[in-house]
């Protein structure tokens, strides 16, 4: 299968809607639905009924209680390695997820079984968040960054997945274990295995699926696409058709790339096109 690796040095997500909600309240209501604003606090995310049972996994850390009194307008303090954090974009994306959940759609999936989580309790902090595109369309998995010390889904996970889904593709955001590159890649391999095993119920196609990532997440996408999911304990299946790396310190390359770099440019292009 042909693979294309796209390296982006910067990726700034702009607001998805020009019409901002202007209110001084922490939350606002439309009909029976309760929505967040930039004045909402982290505890309002945690306590929102649409996110019952998994709200902590929307956030950057395993234990976010120290940030419960932080307003979303100061979301940058939750993700210190990130820049250009736009609270309006975070709010708009979370409110989209609230609408999806309130309409009866499943937005959260555990990709580890209860037995697997009992074997390693840190797996309790993992999950997939689903942003639906067209039924039967290929899927993308977005791996947010955070230096493997937190997972910045609010900034470079959920907003990006929503953008992808609006193009018709199905998009997942992975919440992986904090602590290191190896366990994060193991979680990505397990998540991909889950998607491949459940394509019918999820209504996604595995043809030319893609992996997206920023910073630590870009390293995960590169590692798994280069070495395959089986190398990290997942099922053995095809590699992604596209890998999108936003920015990262990744320096590993496969033997194939090493061989290509030793060829004249004309021969290199010929080999890549095969």
Can you give 11-75 as a three-state secondary structure string? Answer: CCCCCCCCCCCCCCCCEEEECCEEEECCCCEHHHHHCCHHHCCCHHHHCCCCCCHHHCCCEHHHH
- The angle subtended at Cα 267 by Cα 265 and Cα 271, nearest 5°, is 115
- How does residue 252 score in pLDDT terms, banded at 50, 70 and 90? low
Distance CA 203, CA 97 (A): 18
- We report the CATH number of the domain holding residue 199 as 3.40.50
Two tokens at 13? 């997500």
Question: What's 149's DSSP letter?
Answer: T
Domains held by the chain: number? 1
- Let me know if residue 194 belongs to a domain: yes
- Let me know if residue 77 belongs to a domain: no
pLDDT for 10: 46
- Let me know if residue 29 belongs to a domain: no
pTM of the predicted model as reported, rounded to 2 decimal places: 0.85
The parent domain of residue 220 ranges over 4-11+85-273
- Let me know if residue 64 belongs to a domain: no
Distance CA 26, CA 9 (A): 35
Look at 264 and 132; give whichever has higher pLDDT: 132
3-state secondary structure of 130: strand
- Let me know if residue 224 belongs to a domain: yes
- Let me know if residue 170 belongs to a domain: yes
Two tokens at 178? 């904090």
Two tokens at 147? 């230096």
Average pLDDT of the residues in 220-230 = 95
pLDDT digits (tens, 9 = 90+) for 4-42: 444 444 444 444 333 434 344 688 888 778 999 999 999
pLDDT digits (tens, 9 = 90+) for 116-134: 999 999 999 999 999 999 9
pLDDT for 26: 83
Phi/psi at 209 (5° precision): -65, 165
Does residue 228 register a pLDDT over 70? Answer: yes
- Let me know if residue 267 belongs to a domain: yes
- Let me know if residue 28 belongs to a domain: no
Q: Which of these ranges, 26-40, 160-174, 200-214, 250-264, has the smallest mean pLDDT?
A: 250-264
pLDDT for 261: 53
């Amino acid at each position: 299968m042909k693979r294309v690796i796209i390296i982006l040095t910067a990726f700034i997500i702009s607001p998805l809607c020009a019409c901002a909600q202007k209110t001084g309240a922490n939350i606002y209501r439309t009909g029976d639905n309760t929505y967040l604003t930039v004045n909402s606090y982290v505890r309002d995310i945690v306590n929102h009924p649409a996110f019952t049972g998994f709200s902590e996994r929307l956030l950057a850390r395993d234990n976010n209680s120290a940030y419960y009194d932080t307003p979303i307008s100061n979301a940058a303090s939750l993700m210190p390695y990130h820049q250009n954090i736009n609270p309006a974009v975070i709010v708009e994306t979370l409110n989209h997820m609230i609408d999806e959940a309130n309409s009866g759609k499943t937005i959260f999936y555990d990709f580890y079984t209860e037995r697997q989580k009992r074997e390693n309790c840190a797996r309790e902090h993992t999950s997939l968040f689903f942003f639906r595109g067209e039924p039967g369309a290929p899927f993308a998995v977005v791996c947010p960054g955070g230096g493997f010390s937190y997972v910045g889904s609010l900034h470079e996970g959920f907003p990006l997945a929503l953008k992808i889904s609006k193009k018709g593709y199905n998009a997942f955001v992975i919440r992986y274990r904090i602590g290191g590159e190896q366990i994060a890649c193991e979680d990505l391999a397990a998540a991909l295995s889950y998607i491949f095993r459940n394509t019918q119920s999820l209504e996604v196609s595995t043809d030319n699926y893609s992996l997206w990532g920023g910073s630590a997440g870009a390293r995960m996408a590169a590692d798994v696409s280069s070495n395959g999911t089986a190398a990290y304990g997942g099922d053995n299946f095809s590699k992604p058709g596209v890998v999108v790396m936003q920015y990262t310190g990744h320096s590993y390359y496969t033997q194939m790339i090493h061989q290509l770099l030793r060829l004249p440019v004309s021969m290199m292009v010929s080999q890549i096109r095969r």
